[in-house]
């Protein structure tokens, strides 16, 4: 069943661990492609020096200051796309970075979407840019509605989040690196790095 927008309209640090196990479904291609969240990070907007939203809305970050339940997609390192689920209330700039997922259906489509030949299945979607490449997310999806939209939807298939999720500091930051705002499914092979 779909995840309600009100469920997403809460602080990123509350929402992030609860999203572990949630499913993203893409209906863009021929076959249905589905992935399950295994690793996320919370970004707390104006209060968080690590967030792209820290200095207020810009052309790039505008979507984060809109309503919850939309994708914030950004381009980085000159070649990679990454995606967040916008959460909280309008104007707060909160988001949950989708860092890794487990492939569920559409494995062949995702393998074809990866530029490099992926040898092991757990290398297919085990990183924020890998999952976007495999799942077909780019800048055209920035602002896409994942609650009540057309091409990508976030749903709850009954899988509960882990009772005790793994937790660590966020990865790849220079500022705000002290906060333990990364959560993951313990022992899952589809992680951007081991727990």
Partner DNA sequence: CTTTGGATCGTCT
Partner DNA sequence: GACGATCCAAAGG
- List contacts with DNA (CB under 7 A): 41, 43, 50-53, 55, 58-61, 64, 72, 75-80, 82, 84, 95, 97, 114-116, 123, 127-130, 170-174, 192
Q: How far is the CB of 158 from DNA (least distance, A)?
A: 27
Q: How far is the CB of 99 from DNA (least distance, A)?
A: 7
Q: How far is the CB of 89 from DNA (least distance, A)?
A: 17
Nearer to DNA, 38 or 61 (CB): 61
Q: How far is the CB of 93 from DNA (least distance, A)?
A: 8
Q: How far is the CB of 142 from DNA (least distance, A)?
A: 8
Nearer to DNA, 123 or 156 (CB): 123
Nearer to DNA, 141 or 170 (CB): 170
Distance (Å, whole) CA 12 – CA 20? 13
Nearer to DNA, 32 or 108 (CB): 108
Nearer to DNA, 33 or 96 (CB): 96
Q: DSSP letter string over the chain?
A: -BPPHHHHSS-HHHHHHHHTT-EEEE-SSSS-EEEEEEEEEEEEGGG-TTSTTTT---TTTGGGGS-SSBEEEEEETTTEEEEEEEESSTTS-EEEEEEEEEEEE-HHHHHHHSSSPP-SGGGSS-SHHHHHHHHT--GGGTT-BSSS-SSEEEE--SPPPPSS-EEEPPSS-SSSTTS--EEE-TT-S--SS--
């Amino acid at each position: 069943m779909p995840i309600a927008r009100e469920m997403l309209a809460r602080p990123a640090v509350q929402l992030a661990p609860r999203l572990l196990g949630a499913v993203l479904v893409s209906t863009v291609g021929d076959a249905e492609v589905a992935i399950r969240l295994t690793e996320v990070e919370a970004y707390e907007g104006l209060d968080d020096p690590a967030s792209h939203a820290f200095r207020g809305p810009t052309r790039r970050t505008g979507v984060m200051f809109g309503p919850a339940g939309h994708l914030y997609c950004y381009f980085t390192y000159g070649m990679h796309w990454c995606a967040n689920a916008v959460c909280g209330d309008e104007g707060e700039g909160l988001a949950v970075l989708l860092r890794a997922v487990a492939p569920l259906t559409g494995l062949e489509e995702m393998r074809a979407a990866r530029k490099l030949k992926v040898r092991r299945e757990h290398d297919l979607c085990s990183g924020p840019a890998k999952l976007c490449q495999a799942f077909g997310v780019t800048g055209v999806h920035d602002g896409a509605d994942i609650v009540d939209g057309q091409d990508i939807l976030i749903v709850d298939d009954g899988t509960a989040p882990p009772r005790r999720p793994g937790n660590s500091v966020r990865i790849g930051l220079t500022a705000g690196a002290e906060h333990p705002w990364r959560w993951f499914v313990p022992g899952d092979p589809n992680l951007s790095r081991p727990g």
